Amino acid sequence: MIDPLYNGILVIVVVLWMLALRAGRISGLVSGLKRFKVVLTVLLWAGFLTFLIVFVTNFQYFDDIHDIDEAVETAVISLDSDINPYEEYVVPRFKSKYVPYPDWTLGPYNYMPLDLVTYYAVYTVAGEAGSPYWFVAVNLLFSGAALAVLRRIVEVPWLPYIPFAGIVMLFYSFDNASLTLLLMVASVYALERSRWHPELLAIILMGMAAMTKIYAAIPFLVLLLYLLQEKVALRDLQKFGEVVTATAICGVMALVLMAPFGISSVMDAAIFFHTSEELRLGTSTGGTLLSEIAIDSQYFGLIAAAVVVCAIAIGLFLRNVNDRVLLVILAFLTVSVKSSLAPLTVAGIFLVLRMRQLADEQLPEYESSSPSSLKDEGHVDKAPNPSLTRAE
């Protein structure tokens, strides 16, 4: 069954991206938004306050329609009891995505070890607050920090941004995607603003994001290929070496985190699980555009892999790293086995970054107020704002 929310958001992202890439479209959009900024701000605040009231008064309902909080808490309790949640089928998950009468099943933990270790540490400190309150609170903290950092990058006014951020925070409050979101935004911020080895920090932080949820491997891989390609074109051996060193550090970190749980067990439970219909037997699948059409085909896995690989290959010819990430993540979201809302955070982050960059390029009045290097297509490696656009 096609997931209308998931695919609707996907279509909106594609439309906004395509409109933004058309010369003059983004400037017209921004100008229009500025004319109605008071109305839009009021609507955003009204939407946020309404969502907040509904969320608080129907908290139990929101708990019932999510299973990630149960999965995470069970995994950390199992770890505390010396049970390997990547090998033992102790983690409760929905067999079907839809409620009010979800059908439960048991399986291994489906997220990467840095996610488990982080929430285990949080649980030891805040677990006494009870379930799911500790989980919701820490996710609000993670996503709030991420959105505060993102606002420093895009530099939009606080008044309309606060309700937007609040809606996103509540939306992902029952989802450990909040931790991944924080690490991804921190990576982008390091690349743009850090005065100390921005490429090194950006790769390591994005690698850490991929060690929480596997879909973050997409921006990690795209960023890695982009920086390697850029440094080779510039013949910058020092920076090239930093990128290689950062990649090696990420590899070592991943091995160290996976080893205690069994590398093969982690890969089966947290990586291959998300790409295999066979491994997902007994859990929810479908909802994405391609999966509803071709998931029963024996060639579905090959088709899905080919679509993503082609997107990566085409992305090598795009000058802007944000466009590259958007292309690959949208391809991935189209062919995913399950219509999970968590990977949409990747598309959201890089769409916002790209639209802000295009606004800076097309609207001269923005340039005096925005230090972001995203407005300079031809600029490379100028601290503290290294370019995210490949040199010719």
* Res. 382 pLDDT band, cuts 50 70 90: very low
pLDDT at 373: 38
pLDDT, one tens digit per residue, over 45-70 is 999 999 999 999 999 888 888 888 89
pLDDT, one tens digit per residue, over 271-282 is 887 666 555 555
* Res. 295 pLDDT band, cuts 50 70 90: low
pLDDT at 202: 94
- Taking CA atoms, 309 is separated from 185, 315, 331, 355, in Å, by 24, 10, 9, 25
Cα–Cα distance, 256 to 263 (Å, whole number): 9
More confident of the two residues 285 and 235:
235
Contact indicator for 84, 265 with CB cutoff of 8 Å: yes
What is the DSSP annotation of 162-192?
HHHHHHHHHHTTT-THHHHHHHHHHHHHHHH
**Least trusted range by pLDDT, from 33-37, 204-208, 264-268, 345-349:** 33-37
Q: Model pTM?
A: 0.84
Q: Where are the domains of the chain?
A: 4-375
pLDDT, one tens digit per residue, over 102-138 is 677 888 998 999 999 999 999 999 988 888 999 999 9
